Structure formats: structure tokens, C-alpha cells
Amino acid sequence: MSEQYDLIVVGSGAAGLSVALSAASGLRVAVVSRGVLGLDGATCWAQGGIAAAIGSGDSPGQHAADTIHAGQRLNNKSAVRWLAESAPDVIRWLISLGMQFDVVNGRLALGREAAHSFPRILHAGGDATGAELIRALRDAVARQPQMDRYEFTDVCEILKAGEKAVGVLARNRRGDLIRILAPNVVLATGGIGQLYCHTSNPSEADASGIALAQLAGAETADLEFVQFHPTALAPIDGDGNPQLPLITEAIRGAGAILLNDQGMRFMAAAHPQAELAPRDVVARAVWDQVSRGHRVYLDARPLANSLRARFPNLVQACHQRDIDPRVQLIPVVPAAHYHMGGIKVDLHSLTRVPGLYAVGELACTGVHGANRLASNSLLEALAFGKALGERLAQRGPVAPITRVDPPAGHAVRAESANDQMVLARLRQLMWNDVGIFRTEDGLQAALHQIQVMERRCLSGAPVLRQLLVARLMVEACLRRRESIGAHFLASPAMEFSKPAHGQAVA
Ligand SMILES: Cc1cc2nc3c(=O)[nH]c(=O)nc-3n(C[C@H](O)[C@H](O)[C@H](O)COP(=O)(O)OP(=O)(O)OC[C@H]3O[C@@H](n4cnc5c(N)ncnc54)[C@H](O)[C@@H]3O)c2cc1C
């Protein structure tokens, strides 16, 4: 028995819910997600905000120029222009759904961030933008009778009929395999941070969407471009959870500095802007210290009097680790944060597989090029998701599925202790060799080890998805022979900065 819909959306973050809500007035929609709708995935963790050129003197053209500058001109210029022009409409749509953005004197408050040349970042609840966005999207979903939810359901495989995607095979909350069929399948499964042993991303961001699409015949692009955030709160020893709380860059903007365990302020020597250098420069400098055996700390003591009011999330995260940031140093490590690459799609979010679409962090529209401009990722997920949903709704219901090829049996086993062990080894390998500093030798060694792990896994093991994506990422790194954007290929002379294989770095 299979349920039939007009549209299946896999993922309930900003991207998935935008597609589903925009399509739901005309189509029967199923939304499938790993946890509680909207509350799983990265969206509800987003802090900073959503970029849109709506301020006085600003323009979509300037927003596009900043995006292309950050992306080192490797961006798809048409996608960037379309995104920047769509942004004001996305904000109006969110307001119409009930999202409460922060306002000052009755006008939308606009913050200025990183390499944006104008104040154009809209936020909600200060640094709780993602939580408010998800609240508004969930409330809107609750008003849609045409939408069915499949929560705590893991999609294992895209079902096909010949060349065309016609549904998904998934494991539901009871552990049963189920088939859900539709002529349109949208993947919105988020990022890949969980392939690394330190990440800002939640457990759902484990790259499974890239594997699903690639195994169904879709192409990947720009997989080598992973953005690392320089400062996440260092893990508690022995805690295997790779997700770490982010420490916002705004705190360095306010005057906090980085020190190593000898009290040395190493950023002053690394870049003329010291702690305010670009994100990737700071991340590399922190990595360099850690890989030389130093611990790295953020010193926020000069801000002691204003910390609680200005950075409440940081204070709370520190307290959970028994750190009082007013009088103590805060231990930090860099963390995998955002994936610019993913499943290659056209401007209509279509992969090369008919009927299969990808949106949000999973997709590579080419908007970000070699590096993401801050606050463009929620915008991309919302803009491309909304446009895709509207297009599918306009097309209207399509004939039901009458033919499905037998599944290939990818990832159909229940997760085992062995999957967990292999994943832990993979994370360390990715961190050491496919992380902030990469070398040709390290990448070749990683490729070999991943291939060995793949051969040793039982067919149908869920971890094969992570191994596949990791291998594709290493292969993409090896093809990109120069350092650009977030891909930093160290020369042999710099190899001393890399930890030995298998050595934990934090
Ligand atoms: C701490 C943090 C702060 C951030 N701050 C900002 C910010 O201020 N501004 C900004 O623009 N961006 C920010 N980002 C990035 C941004 O939040 C993400 O890029 C964006 O939310 C991704 O949205 P998405 O819908 O593509 O995926 P997600 O929101 O991650 O949703 C993925 C969905 O896919 C589901 N899923 C995954 N695999 C499967 C599977 N196999 N089967 C079924 N379901 C599956 C998950 O359950 C989830 O529902 C931040 C990210 C983090 C982690």
C-alpha cells in the first residue's frame, strides 16, 4: 500500500516549508521530516537574520554585488540577481504569514553584518530569527488542511519509474519501511555539518539528501566549499555530540579578543584587522593554534558589565558548562557551519532527474559561489522554496503514479552500533584532512580510507550515505587545485600546521 500525493517535500526547515506552503492551496502535499515538523534541522537555530535590500540608499544590485564579492566571483550571476531582487517580496510574504520582525520607531530594524555594504539584515527576537521564522511557518502549516505530515520519518531512497522520480521509500517512527508516491519530489534536507567532529549544525544535517539525490542520478556541484565558523564553544571532554553552540562574531566586534593558552593574542600577528578579520582568516588562525597543541580562548571579560544584556545566549551556553564569562576565559574551537555546494539545480530548482527538485542548503543554485555572504542562506531557502511551490501549484495536479521500479535497497537497514562507530571515525577524518586546511596528501589519504570504510560496510547500511557524500567531497577538493574562498589548499611548506592523521585536535 502506498499513499499518493501531488507533491512530496522531504524536510521541514525554511526551504521545505516554503515549498509546501506555497503549493498547498492547489495540491495535495506530504511533508516528511526526521523530527517534529519545523523544530528539527538548522532553521530554528539561525541567529543573525535574513538579508534583503530594503533600506534607504540600498538596492538589489548592491546586494548582488556584495554576494558576488564574497563568493569570489564563482557565483551564478543570474541566480544572485534573481535572489537579491526576490528578497523584498520574501519579507512581505513572511510578514503576511505573521512573522514578527524586530522594529525600531515603527520601521523594520536593519542590521549591518560582515561584508554587507549596507544595513540590510532583518532579525527577530534579537538573535532568535530562526525560532520566530519557524513559529510563523508552523502556524501557517496548521491552517492548511491539504497537507499531511510524516514526522520522525527518515527517507532512505528516491523511488523512480524509468528516468523519473515518482516518490520516496522511508522508515517511519515504528521502524517500518513505507512508500509515498507523487509526480513531484522536493528534497530540502539541509546541510552536511554532521560529517565533521565539530559543527554548529544539528543532527539532521548529516548529508543524507545529497546521497539520496546522487543515487537517484542527480549531479552535485561545489562540494568542496564548506564554511567554517571560527568560534564555537569547545566541547566537554568525552562528549561525542559534534553539535556545538556558536559564539557570534558580534562579540568580537564588541571588543572580545582571542588568546591561546599562553595568553598570546595571536590574531594581532595574523591579520591587520586582528579579531575582526574575515571569518575564514580567523577560522584558519584558530585551527593553526589548536593544531600546534594550544587551547584557544575568547576573552570577553572586558565586556563583563554588558554581557548578560547583549549576549544572553552566550551567557546561558557558558553557564551550562559552569563557565562564568564575566571572569573566566571561554574555550573555543572552529566548527563546520554552512555548505555552499550541494545538488546542482537550475533556476527552477530542478535537478537533472525529471520530477526531482532540491532547495535550501542542500541545493547548489550557484548563489554563494566559493563562500557565503552572511544571512543569504535563509533568504535563498525561502526565495527558491516559495517560487518552486508557486510554480508547482500553477501547474496543478498531475496524473497519479501507476508504475514504480523496484527500490535499489539503499540505506534500508536500521542504524546499528557499527554505523555510529564508522561515523565517528569519518568525522575525525573529515576534520583532520578535509577541513579548514587541506593538503593533496591528506586528501588522497582520506579518499583511500573512505573507500576502505565503504567496502567494509554491509550493503543497505545507513552510514553508506555519509561515506558516499564524504567521498564526493574529497574528490571535489582534489579537482579544485587552487585555494579559493572556503577551499584552502595548503602548500607543502605549510604542512607543519596540520595535525597527524587520526589525531584529535580539540
Ligand atoms: C547555529 C546556526 C546559525 C545560523 N544563522 C543563520 C543566519 O542568521 N542567517 C542565515 O541566513 N543562515 C543562518 N544559518 C544557516 C541556515 O540556518 C541554514 O542554511 C538553513 O536554515 C537551512 O534550511 P533548510 O530548510 O535548507 O534545512 P534545515 O532547516 O536544516 O531542514 C532540514 C530538514 O530536512 C529533514 N531531513 C534531513 N534528512 C532527512 C531524511 N533523510 N529524511 C527525512 N527528512 C530529512 C530534517 O529533519 C529537517 O526537517 C545558521 C545555521 C546554524 C546552524
Tens-level pLDDT at each residue, the chain (506 residues): 689 999 999 999 999 999 999 999 889 999 999 999 999 999 999 988 999 999 999 999 999 999 999 999 999 999 999 999 999 999 999 999 999 999 999 999 998 877 889 999 999 988 889 999 999 999 999 999 889 999 999 999 999 999 999 999 999 999 999 999 999 999 999 999 999 999 999 999 999 999 999 999 999 999 999 999 999 999 877 667 899 999 988 888 889 999 999 999 999 999 998 998 888 889 999 999 998 999 999 999 999 998 888 888 889 999 999 999 999 999 999 999 999 999 999 999 999 999 999 999 999 999 999 999 989 999 999 999 999 999 999 999 988 899 999 999 888 888 899 999 999 999 999 999 999 999 999 999 999 999 999 999 999 999 999 999 999 999 999 999 999 999 999 875 554 444 433 333 32
Nearest atom, ligand 1, residue 41 CA: 30
Element (H, E) at 286: helix 279-291
Task: Report CA(48)–ligand 1 centroid distance (Å).
Answer: 14
DSSP state, residue 199: B
Domains of the chain, first to last: 2-224+340-395 (3.50.50.60), 232-335 (3.90.700.10), 417-497 (1.20.58.100)
What share of residues in the chain are helix, strand, coil (percent, to 5)?
40, 20, 45
Which residue's C-alpha comes closest to atom 53 of ligand 1? 201
Q: Cell triple for residue 149?
A: 505530515
Q: In this predicted structure, what is the pLDDT of residue 494?
A: 56
Q: Which of 34, 81, 120, 279 does the annotation list as catalytic?
A: 279
- 384 Cβ inside 6 Å of ligand 1: no
HEC-encoded secondary structure of 9-53: EECCCHHHHHHHHHHCCCCCEEEECCCCCCCCCCHHHCCCCEECC
Which residue's C-alpha comes closest to atom 36 of ligand 1? 189
- 355 Cβ inside 6 Å of ligand 1: no
Q: Cell triple for residue 289?
A: 593554534
Q: In this predicted structure, what is the pLDDT of residue 496?
A: 42
Which residues touch 306 (CB under 8 Å, ≥6 apart)?
A: 254
Which residues touch 167 (CB under 8 Å, ≥6 apart)?
A: 2, 8, 158, 159, 179, 180, 181, 182, 185, 401, 404
Q: Give the SS3 label for residue 396.
A: coil
Task: Report CA(237)–ligand 1 centroid distance (Å).
Answer: 27
342, amino acid identity: G
Cα–Cα distance, 231 to 396 (Å, whole number): 47
Task: Report CA(498)–ligand 1 centroid distance (Å).
Answer: 30
**What is the best residue among 83, 378, 463 to mutate for testing ligand 1's pocket, by most ligand atoms within 8 Å of CB?**
378
Contact 214, 267 (CB under 8 A): no
Task: Report CA(116)–ligand 1 centroid distance (Å).
Answer: 22
User: Quick one: how far is CA 247 from the chain centroid?
Assistant: 17
Q: In this predicted structure, what is the pLDDT of residue 128?
A: 86
Q: In this predicted structure, what is the pLDDT of residue 502?
A: 32
Which residues touch 379 (CB under 8 Å, ≥6 apart)?
A: 50, 51, 52, 83, 87, 90
- 128 Cβ inside 6 Å of ligand 1: no
- 154 Cβ inside 6 Å of ligand 1: yes
Q: Give the SS3 label for residue 365.
A: coil
**Cα dihedral 496, 498, 503, 505 sign:** positive
CA distances from 424 to 158, 209, 246, 470 (A): 26, 19, 21, 13
- 411 Cβ inside 6 Å of ligand 1: no
Q: Cell triple for residue 453?
A: 570504510
**What is the best residue among 17, 180, 189, 248 to mutate for testing ligand 1's pocket, by most ligand atoms within 8 Å of CB?**
189
- 204 Cβ inside 6 Å of ligand 1: yes
- 375 Cβ inside 6 Å of ligand 1: yes
**What is the best residue among 9, 19, 31, 45 to mutate for testing ligand 1's pocket, by most ligand atoms within 8 Å of CB?**
45
Contact 375, 66 (CB under 8 A): no
Q: In this predicted structure, what is the pLDDT of residue 503?
A: 33
Contact 214, 472 (CB under 8 A): yes
Contact 89, 125 (CB under 8 A): no
Interstrand relation of 330-339 and 226-233 (parallel, antiparallel or unpaired):
antiparallel
Is-catalytic flag, 279? yes
- 15 Cβ inside 6 Å of ligand 1: yes
Cα–Cα distance, 302 to 99 (Å, whole number): 36
Q: In this predicted structure, what is the pLDDT of residue 25?
A: 86
**What is the best residue among 40, 44, 359 to mutate for testing ligand 1's pocket, by most ligand atoms within 8 Å of CB?**
40
82, amino acid identity: W
Which residue's C-alpha comes closest to atom 13 of ligand 1? 46
Q: What number of CA atoms fall less than 13 Å from residue 465's CA on the CB side?
A: 28
Task: Report CA(41)–ligand 1 centroid distance (Å).
Answer: 5
Strands (E), 58-174: 103-104, 107-108, 121-122, 147-150, 154-161, 164-171
**Cα dihedral 209, 248, 367, 120 sign:** positive
